[in-house]
Structure 1
Amino acid sequence: MREFIVEADGGSRGNPGPAGYGAVVSDAATGQTLAEAAEFIGVATNNVAEYRGLLAGLRAAHALDPQAAVHVRMDSKLVIEQMTGRWKIKHPAMKPLAAEAARVFPPGRVTYEWIPRERNKHADRLANEAMDAGKRGEQWSPSASTAALDTPSGPAAAAADVPEPSGPPGDATAGAARVRAALASAAADASGATSGDTGADAGARAGTDTEAAAADADARAARAVATPRAGWGPADMGPPATFVLLRHGETPLTPQKRFSGSGGSDPSLSEVGREQAERAAAVLARRGTVQAIVTSPLARTRETAGIIAARLGLDVSVEDGLRETDFGAWEGLTFGEVGERHPDDLSAWLSSPDAEPTGGGESFAATATRVAATRDKLIAAYAGRTVLLVTHVTPIKTLVRLALGAPPEALFRMELSAASLSAVAYYADGNASVRLFNDTSHLR
């Protein structure tokens, strides 16, 4: 029976913050490196990144030989003690990762050992390479030693006398191909199930920015989205559910400042609006942190979301609770026109969140109730993940207002531009943090 050594590590620059993992599989008898794996996984905690590294290492070993015995060495005391069963796994973000790691090989074929950090330098280097690549908006690429696995002259050839179970003896190329295929499949499978995962964002991170000014602006915005929680709260709650809030691109009604809610003509994007959506897609691709996309059902948001999804390689889910307020008889009118035709109703609407627009529209109080319920639903569905919500002025302002604990009249004190980006993080203790608001740097 072959025996592999798996060394794995993970890190987070912020905890939670931009995170990545690294894993190395070596031959226990010869010490030869057989496979390396690393990935930038978006915003996550150290512990999530370490578990992701363990999982990648085990999957790479399984791809080389599913009948092998594996000895795991990590400098994470938490992971080692939890995987051996000596410590109980309490955090909800850790349980599915630990369970998945335990299923890669049959029970009894994997042993665990804690090692000091200085003895885990290879995996630590890979994890940092992955985080550095993510900061540049790129994917981690294998080092020269791993790339050599593609030819019989590489490190795998040194162990060519050890038969591969599903290929001819010494078929290092086939073995390396199986490793890459298994890791690619694992990344895709994990993208919908684990915290901080961006495995499905391979296409999203492919975009690059050649203009230094745009890159600097994007870096500032990315840091704002990835900033760890400020204040006195505990640091071990796991990564928050982060909503990146994108107002849809411009429609023909936008420059005219006409009421455009969910009860009107439902306009599509203008040519300017489509260009704005493309620019938003480019900046989100460079950041590489969005793991899912949810949109309002209205045409302008669905079109905006579709442009983003095509760039990021993600599917789009529709959530009715993200629709814009129904402005009743005011739909399609300017503020001045409403003031001329319905002055009393407009005055009441500006004075009370319970007042409805003329003709049975939706009050701001009703909108807030709907948006808060939708928020709670999405927080539960995307715990620990970063999700793009493509929606409208009132839902975005309402989410920001509620996160700040601001009064209803705060809605009239916010400016929200077409195709602007905002971000709110929601933590396990019920607290929220507004990390970005009305960012339009990508549109300049």
Structure 2
Amino acid sequence: MPASGRTLVVEADGGSRGNPGVAGYGALVRDGASGRVLWEGAAPLGKESNNVAEYSGLIAGLGAVLRIDASADVEVRMDSKLVVEQMAGRWKIKHPDMRQLALEARDLAAQISAAGGSVSFTWIPRERNKDADALSNDGMDGRTIDRMLVGGGAGEGEGSSSDAATVAEVVDEVIDPAPSPAPPGPGEGTPTRIVLVRHGVTDFTEASRLDGRGGSDPSLNTAGQAQAAAAGRATAHLLGGSPARVVTSSLARARETGAAVAEAIGVTPSVDADWDEQDFGDWDGASIPDLVRDQAEALTALRVDAAYARPGGESHDQLAARVVAAFDRVVAAGGTTVVVCHRKPIMCVLAHVLGIPHDKVWRLAAAPGSLTALEVWPDGNVSVAFTNRT
């Protein structure tokens, strides 16, 4: 029995007009008892394959579950036999892009398991996946949808958790292909612009192993090098020739990704170790699935208790103190800075500027090689331009 006693159903799909071609994904989350739709989402993916789009729909659906009730018992239903069999571990994953996406999905599933829930995968015929298919066509048409419906939080139904009402409100964001010009910034003057880039993957990432600042410090693997190069191109495109600095953490994967980004914009990177990943102490190098199986209670404590630290490691509070100090230095420098770092430091910054409590911070996604951008105005106001863009 999951911690909340609740069941959720994820229906996900993706498509590509050309394979590869114009791609998009769609997904929704239903209440398992009533069948009521709690969330629905869609987004364009540019030129991608059907399989990339299908995995992207799965990742979006699991991410929505974390926002609704991470302790629920989740059944994922998809008409992609490939994704279902690969995620169930019955089929091998040969393509590097698929392996990376599968790792992202498994990481989200591990977070659900750590919170007391579970995730299972079921193949369904295409005709039973029409709602997700329709949303994926919205994505292919260039529409981005992130719609949380009334009652989506875990406060609905029996077994509700005490903080379940956090999403029991209407959140309805539909972005058309040609949005209206953005309104002026929240403050007067010129903002400091910060782009947070997560490093590319390593063998540890692909093996779902914890890798903090006190660990073995692996380098990027082949897939990670490709992600670093792509992050460099994306950063250069975003900056459009505007001057910027590049700062990286001291860990190899961030320095190597930062080197690719710096080369793409024609600068020399600098290192600030306060942007390093959290030190996981005696758990550095540990397999996350093994921890979920053997030390679920301690793993949950690491995720939700900001003062909890493993022997020889640091707590989230200690991590956040050094990351926020590094963030404040970047803000004080002004101009535009690209910071190449890690998932938890990115989460720390977003939690700091948005006031997100620690036990909710895992709802923020930051995929390998992704970009997140902020503007900090002279009056102290902060605008998050976008997150987790790959």
TM-score, scaled to structure 1? 0.45
What does residue 347 of structure 1 align with?
Answer: 300
Is this contact kept in 2: 1:268–1:300, CA < 8 A? yes
2:384 paired with 1:434: yes
* Structure 2 counterpart of 1:275: 226
Indicate yes or no: 2:325 matched with 1:367: no
1:245 paired to 2:217: no
**Residue pair 1:284, 1:290 contacting (<8 A) in 2 also:** no
* Residue 284 (1) aligns with residue 220 (2): no
Cα deviation for residue 316 of structure 1 reads 0.5
Measure the CA separation in 1 of the matches of 2:302 and 2:379: 34
Q: 1:351 to 1:377 in 2, by over 3 A?
A: same
Identify if the C-alpha distance between structure 1 residues 361 and 428 changes in structure 2 by more than 3 Å, giving closer, same or farther.
Answer: same
Match in the other structure for 2:332: 380
Query: How far did 1:364 drift?
Result: 0.8
Higher helix share: 1
1:392 equivalent in structure 2: 342
Which residue does 2:263 correspond to in 1?
A: 310
Amino acid at match of 2:280: F
8 A contact 1:294–1:319 mirrored in 2: yes
Kindly report which structure 2 residues correspond to 1:204-223, keeping only aligned pairs within 5 A, or say none: none
- Residue 415 of structure 1 corresponds to 365
User: Paired residue for 2:279?
Assistant: 326
SS class of match (1:354): coil
Amino acid at match of 1:432: V
Distance 2:285 2:246 in 1: 28
Following TM superposition, by how much is the alpha carbon of 1:240 offset from its aligned partner in structure 2, in angstroms? 1.1
2:107 corresponds in structure 1 to none
| Shift, 1:252, TM fit | 0.9
How far does residue 261 in structure 1 lie from its aligned partner after superposition? 1.0
Shift in CA distance, 428/258, structure 1 to aligned 2, threshold 3 Å = same
CA separation of 1:229/1:408 partners in 2, compared to 1, >3 Å: closer, same or farther? farther
- Per-residue displacement from partner, 1:226-258 (whole Å, max 9, x unpaired)? 95655xx44x3x211111010001111112221
* Separation of aligned partners in 2, 1:343 and 1:278: 36
Question: Which structure has the highest strand share of the two?
Answer: 2
Could you tell me how far apart the structure 1 residues matched to 2:182 and 2:332 are? 21
Give the conservation status (yes or no) of the 8 Å contact 2:208–2:289. Answer: no
Q: 2 CA distance for matches of 1:414 and 1:307?
A: 25
Deviation at 1:340, TM superposition (A): 4.4
Given the superposition, is the C-alpha separation of residues 229 and 335 from structure 1 closer, same or farther in structure 2, using an over 3 Å criterion? farther
Paired amino acid for 1:406: I
Measure the CA separation in 1 of the matches of 2:216 and 2:386: 31
CA–CA distance in structure 2, aligned partners of residues 286 and 415 of structure 1: 22
* 1:250 counterpart SS class: coil
In structure 2, relative to structure 1, the CA distance for the partners of 1:270 and 1:290 (3 Å cut) is farther
Q: Which residue of 2 aligns with 1:404?
A: 354
- 1:310/1:337 CA distance change after superposition, 3 Å: same
How far the C-alpha of 1:351 sits from its partner, in A, is 3.3
1:375–1:340 CA distance, 2 compared to 1 (3 A): same
| 1:93-118 CA-partner distances (Å, limit 9, x unpaired) | xxxxxxxxxxxxxxxxxxxxxxxxxx
Contact 1:295/1:318, CA 8 A, preserved across alignment: yes
Contact 1:278 1:308 in 2 (8 A): yes
Partner Cα distance (1:326, 1:378) in 2: 22
Please give the secondary structure, in 2, of the residue aligned with 1:360.
coil
Flag structure 2 segments of 5+ consecutive residues without an equivalent: 1-141, 144-174
Displacement of 1:350 after TM fit?
3.1
Shift of 1:372: 1.0
Is the Cα contact below 8 Å between 1:268 and 1:299 reproduced in 2?
Answer: yes
Q: Distance in 2 between matches of 1:244 and 1:351?
A: 27
- Whichever residue aligns with residue 261 of structure 1, its letter is G
The amino acid of 1:389's aligned partner reads V
- How many pairs does the alignment contain? 214
Question: Equivalents in 2 of 1:409, 1:371: separation in Å?
Answer: 18
Larger Rg over CA atoms: 1
Contact 1:227 1:435 in 2 (8 A): no
Q: Secondary structure at the match of 1:410?
A: helix
Alignment of structure 1 residues 191-206 onto 2, 5 Å: none
C-alpha separation between the residues in 1 aligned to 2:207 and 2:182? 36
- Distance apart, 1:345 and its partner CA: 2.7
Query: Relative to 1, partners in 2 of residues 1:241 and 1:360: Cα closer, same or farther, differing over 3 Å?
Result: same
CA contact (8 A) 2:304 2:358 kept: no
Q: Secondary structure at the match of 1:429?
A: coil
- Three-state SS of the structure 2 residue aligned to 1:294 is strand
Instruction: Give the corresponding residue for 1:23.
Output: none
* Superposition deviation, residue 367 in structure 1: 0.9
Structure 2 CA distance, aligned partners of 1:283 and 1:320?
Answer: 24
| AA partner of residue 286 (structure 1) | H
Q: State the distance in 1 between where 2:339 and 2:309 align.
A: 26
**Compared with structure 1, are the counterparts of its residues 267 and 372 closer, same or farther at alpha carbon in structure 2 (3 Å cutoff)?**
same
Query: Secondary structure in 1 aligned to 2:290?
Result: helix
The verdict on how the C-alpha distance between 1:329 and 1:228 changes in structure 2, with shifts beyond 3 A counting, is farther
Alignment of 1:107-146 (within 5 A): none
Distance 2:360 2:267 in 1: 34
* Change in 2 beyond 3 A, CA 1:283/1:349: closer
Structure 1 vs Structure 2 CA RMSD: 2.6
Gaps of 5+ in 1: 1-215
